[in-house]
Amino acid sequence: MNRLKINRLIDKAFQYVGIACMSIALLILAIFMINIFREGFTRIDWDFITSLPSRKAAKAGILTAWTGTLWILGLTAIIAIPTGIAAGVYLEEYGAKNRLASIIEVNIANLAGVPSIIYGLLGLEIFVRLMNMGSSLLAGAMTLSLLILPIIIVASREALKAVPKTLREASYGLGATKWQTIWYQILPAASGGILTGIILSLSRAVGETAPLIVIGALAYVPFVPKGPMDEFTVLPMQIFNWISRPQHDFQVNGAAAIIILLVITFVMNGVAVYFRNRWQSRINW
């Protein structure tokens, strides 16, 4: 065989390997989804969504869990998004580019890989105990914010780095200040990449259980949280609680709750993708 034929063969082989890998990933996801839906779909009705938890599987609902999840999601977003973007802007646009900066960069990337339970311990010590917040929504949201900040910072920096230098020059050349250049030109141009980071990080936050267990979120909360200082539970904890019980009826409840959690994640990502596309159509390269 000559070189040309070998090259073509490698090309084809790589294509098929790629298809195979993707199929495995999709297949596993499909099996998981089918399983969950067969198990839990018929359990979902209005009562299930609007009922408080109960010792009886048939009467139990997820009202406190999904309201808790939305609270946590909202508070985490409010805390982590501005902080993360601001940190990214500082590191990329203002901070000096020296050895200290590269040490910080490596460490932020490392933080993104720290097991989430460690963040739980940190949150327990600082927010719950030291700052006296108790096992509140705010303490939970701040713990999850710590967890997802590195992801948002890294994504923001990458997005800012990708903005062409000519755009900065154009803005400076017209007499814009650094802040105006960042606010009017660079951040909008980088918004797509930043939003992708936000989507990824919030999706992660919504599914986290371990750090919330550590800070003392309860599996059984018989009331809907009314403010950020209330105690709470979230869907993943409710699911964990139900799945670990021996009775089959509770496992069905768990499967149904998983579907609701998936729906929340999909809706949230859908909204974010919608905004990203809308902003990017206005930023027309």
Partner 1 sequence: MKIIETYKVNAFYGSNHVLKDITMEIKENSVTAFIGPSGCGKSTFLRMFNRMNDYIDGFRKEGDILINGKDIYKKSVKLEELRQEIGMVFQKPNPFPKSIFENAAYGLKIRGVKDKKEINERVEKSLKKAALWSEVKDQLNKSAFSLSGGQQQRLCIARALAVKPSIILMDEPASALDPISTSKIEELISELKQQYTIIIVTHNMQQAARISDKTAFFYLGDLVEFGKTSEIFTKPKNKQTENYVTGRFG
Contact positions vs partner 1 (CB under 8 A)? 97, 164, 166-177, 180, 184-185, 188-189, 282-285
**How near is the Cβ of 274 to partner 1 at its closest, in Å?**
20
Among residues 72, 104, 74, the alpha carbon closest in space to that of 211 is found at: 72
Of 184 and 266, nearer to partner 1 (C-beta) is 184
> Of the candidates 127, 148, 149, which has an alpha carbon nearest to the alpha carbon of residue 139?
127
CB neighbour list of residue 35: distance below 8 Å, 6 or more residues apart: 255
Q: Provide CB contacts within 8 A for 75, sequence distance 6+.
A: 137, 138, 140, 141, 228
Cα(23)–Cα(74) distance, integer angstroms: 35
CA distance 19 to 107: 35
Q: Closer to partner 1 at the Cβ: 142 or 186? A: 186
- Whether 252 contacts 40, CB under 8 Å: yes
Minimum CB–partner distance for residue 94 and partner 1 (Å): 13
CB 213 within 8 Å of CB 120: yes
Decide whether 113 or 175 has the Cβ nearer to partner 1.
Answer: 175
172/275 with CB nearer partner 1: 172
N- to C-terminal Cα distance for the chain?
45
Distance CA 80, CA 149 (A): 6
Q: Indicate the residue among 86 and 167 with the shorter CB distance to partner 1.
A: 167
CB nearer partner 1, residue 180 or residue 203: 180
The pair phi, psi for residue 211, each rounded to 5°, is -65, -30
